[in-house]
Amino acid sequence: MMAETAMEKHKHPGGRPPAQLDLRQVEELARIGCTEADMAAVLGVSVNTIERRKQSNPEFRGVIEKGQASLRNSVRRLQVKKALEGNVTMLIWLGKQLLGQSDRQAFEHSGGQEPVKIVEVMLDRPFKDLSLEQLQARLAELRQEQALEAGDMTALPAAQPHDGP
């Protein structure tokens, strides 16, 4: 009798049948930026169902990834379009993201009778990886720039001799 019960369980598993989810709808939801909670609400299932399906079903996970990639590409396309139309904010942001450009920020320090010193700091460009010689060279460049800005023409680099007329 025990063997029959085990056999019946194998033939007729209990529990709710898996939810039928329309993969085209799942992809479209991902394409418009829906979270897993949003998808679950629209599809009438729990968030756990979405999470489990993503882990167990490569096709399901793939359509979500495809929809999300489509969204990122659409946003990127619109950003580039705005930048090319002359949107300065977008040009600056894309320059930072795509070209590694960074903001520069000036800090002023006044020390009693000494003239005001302006130090330019490049954000997002740590100096921790520079050697002592590289740091000294950069400091010399900054001092030269400061002197030139102050009108000190002696700070100009020495003229290099050249051959020729």
Give the 3-state DSSP-derived string for 106-133, with helices as H, strands as E and coil as C: EEEECCCCCCCEEEEEECCCCCCCCCHH
| Percentage of residues in the chain having pLDDT higher than 70 | 64
Q: What is the DSSP letter of 126?
A: -
Name the domain boundary from 101, 117, 133: 101
pLDDT in tens, 24-81: 999 999 999 999 999 999 999 999 999 999 999 999 999 999 999 999 999 888 888 8
Q: What CA–CA distances, in Å, run from 105 to 12, 48, 102, 110, 119?
A: 70, 47, 10, 17, 8
Q: Output the pTM of the full model.
A: 0.52
pLDDT in tens, 116-125: 555 555 554 5
Residues 65 and 113 in one domain: no
User: Which residue range(s) make up the domain with 54?
Assistant: 20-101
What residues contact residue 157 under an 8 Å CB cut-off, 6+ apart?
A: 144
Mean pLDDT over the full length of the chain:
76
Residue type, 15: G
pLDDT bucket at 17, cuts 50 / 70 / 90: confident
Is 165 a member of any domain?
A: no
Number of domains in the chain: 2
Name the domain boundary from 101, 118, 135: 101
